[in-house]
Chains A and B, each alone.
Chain A
Amino acid sequence: MSAIKPRHQRLVLAGFALAALVAAGLLAAWALRSQASFFYLPADMAAHPSAPDREVRLGGMVERGSLHQLADGVTVRFIVTDGRARIPVRFSGIRPALFVEGSGVVAEGRRAGDGTFMADNLLAKHDEHYVPREMKDMTADQARKTVAATK
């Protein structure tokens, strides 16, 4: 039974080391929260506007009814919102297939002097909801409820 004691000691030591490591990792991750974010929300951008020529990413929802095609046929303007702030965005180019109103988007570009965000590139961001195509005539909220009811 003499083997129990050093083994017990090693378990406690390893446990402490592991707890300290996890704490250090979580602290580092927490400290990084603004640097490690892939994009700014409209509210962040409204509160701390980026310098006009700095490359940044803006992410949020494409506001319903805000997507308009301009006369040149390649430029669109729309509003990105997070429920707290709204930022107008302008983009010329090919839009990803999943870029639609009411869905998530990440726009890469820079803020113009007048507060409009000039995007060079759009990335579609989709949420964690998976709904069969057969339910596509429902609104997202209805589909979500159906999923919740059938699971």
Chain B
Amino acid sequence: MQRIKIDETGLFISRPGFDVNNGNVARLVDPRFQLLSEHARGEALSNFSEGSGAGGWSRHRAQFNFPTLPFVPIVQWGLQRVSSNVVTYPEFIISDTTANSNEPGDKMRVGTNYVWAESAINQYTTAGGLFRLRVTVYNADSGLEP
């Protein structure tokens, strides 16, 4: 069984147990596609971002920076609430707390060298919004515009 093939298009490697010339199963390495190698990994604790003070609503924000890529990368992230240790993974669940009706819910953004997340507005306590952002950045184009 042939596992490895190099031709004018590049390097092909089949998965264990499959012939590299079998085009009807996924390959381990296929030069037609991108490879999800890890680019960066880390975490950031949020800071108070905005709010109306004690007893009012508050929002928290965390940002993780990574070495600049020529595209907006594929990112996996988890957000852990400090107050409850609840983790949402790999992406956020919307919490439509509507203290500020203009921008309810968690938000996040990925750029070519950063990921930031803003917590949902917490209507009842300024401490509840504190969270930890954990990020793995892959060296692969997400298709999102920078």
> Does B associate with A?
no
Q: Which residues of B pack against A, CB within 8 Å?
A: none
Q: Which residues of A pack against B, CB within 8 Å?
A: none
